[in-house]
Amino acid sequence: MLHDFRRIDWDEWRDAPDRRREAAVSSGRTYLAERSDLDAGETAVFTVAGHKADLLFVHLRETLDAVERAERQFEATDFAGFTEQSTSYVSVTEIGGYTAPEYFEDPASVDPGIRRYMETKRYPEIPEDVYVSFYPMSKRRDPEYNWYDLPMAERAEMMAEHGETGKEYAGQVTQIVASSLGLDDWEWGVTLFATDATALKDIVYEMRFDEGSAKYAAFGPFYTGRRFPPGDLGAFMAGEAVPTGETEASLGGSTDHGETEASPGGTAIHGEAGAGHGTDPAGSAGDTDADADDATPIREELSDLDVYGGKPHGEDVYALALYSEADPDELAEEVFGLRENFEHYDTHVKTAVYEPREAGTTAVVSIWETESAADTASGFLVELPGVVGRAGADGDGWGTMGMFYTVEADHRTDFLETFDEVAETLASMDGHRDSRVLINREDDRDMFIASQWDSREDAMAFFRSDAFGDTVSWGRDVLVERPRHVFLA
């Protein structure tokens, strides 16, 4: 990861003829557009407020060589002739081992949801349309407060406290923490992102009171600005507002700044140099079928039955579900606290707790309009108490992750009795693993059916069956709205 800070020579820019300025802007736009969405990394550009710099280019690549090459390629543009590098910062994204040693001992044994979230720390994405705050930091080695003299357990406890503070900013602040031990002058570089600039100030302020920061953290200079698209480079140079067209920012889930690791709870923390290095977003469960083209027939067939089918690749909603063995009251309290933060974002559709009718695990379902928002939310949801897995997480089967039905109050009992009849049919079908109905603890008319199958074709055999068609036809008379099915491959 390279943070490349640039100052503009405004005197030279004002004195340059229009032709030269136009060529410079064009070269800068082309450079950024070609590097903003690479298969193996990305480049983003930000304004910088104050005297320290005018622009910040952030480069994420798979190797140090590729990062350095991106820097040289910028120097070859006409636009670079109007800039000079005021400072820079070289680091590497990583997964540290503070709170999840089992990940490094046997990654395959870790819950897939947690594993995918942890991989987002290794392979992060840069959020769009956000304010940014970057600062380097190190852990103190003073005679009185030497972080590296502390036992591992004591450090982990302080970082857990740090994580609790960060959870309060779920849905408001997200971050990339990258290690620079041996690469640059400080030990870590922290890049915070938020759609509300004041949240950047608030989270840093609150975390200064955590013992891990108050006693053991040393901070470098702070840089603050706003991301804008490559096409707005000319507007930036003309002194106009950027981004020129406001777009809705996706949820970035907060993490706390702490030592580099996402705990099984999902909050990332400033890390000591640790385990894997790299840069892919992974993380949330989408409503995605594995392939968009293959998914089309499923959606069409359901549509013929007047059933909504969740669309993959951001066309509609993305959803994720987790299951917990925790006390439902304790779980709900945690979920509702997260939901208060999630609801700050228009990309949030729904987060709810569904309880089984009898014994069994409780489900937490969260639905979002964008994949990146679901990715971020997953990091906070896997931190809930007692999490044991996700839909589709066991084995290599395929799951219809959610079938959501809102039932007319007078027909609630009828609906549950009908489900029980259908369940008998399901039990005899090839490839069926499990189907159960759970009920929203805040609205007992809202039903969530989790159904798992060995394969997509096994599930579709049921969707194509007369039993399913008859149930849907009957359901039109008892449901408040069109049923929604969200798929998880």
Q: Which residues carry out catalysis?
A: 135
Q: How far is Cα 140 from Cα 34, in angstroms, rounded to an integer?
A: 41
The owner of tokens 């997953």 is 378
The torsion of the CA quartet 391, 397, 400, 402, rounded to 10 degrees, works out to -10
Which helix (H) or strand (E) segment holds residue 453: the answer is: strand 446-453
Nearest Cα to Cα of residue 176 among 87, 63, 65, 254: 254
Q: How far is Cα 400 from Cα 451, in angstroms, rounded to an integer?
A: 6
Backbone φ, ψ for residue 169 (5° rounding): -105, 20
Backbone φ, ψ for residue 315 (5° rounding): -70, -25
Tokens of 363: 């489900």
Helix-strand-coil split of the chain, %, nearest 5? 35, 25, 35
Q: How far is Cα 137 from Cα 218, in angstroms, rounded to an integer?
A: 6
Q: Under 8 Å CB-to-CB from 140, ≥6 apart: which residues?
A: 146, 147, 215, 216, 217, 218
Nearest Cα to Cα of residue 463 among 301, 292, 242: 301
Tokens of 214: 């108050």
Which helix (H) or strand (E) segment holds residue 207: the answer is: helix 197-207
Q: How far is CA 370 from the centre of its chain?
A: 10
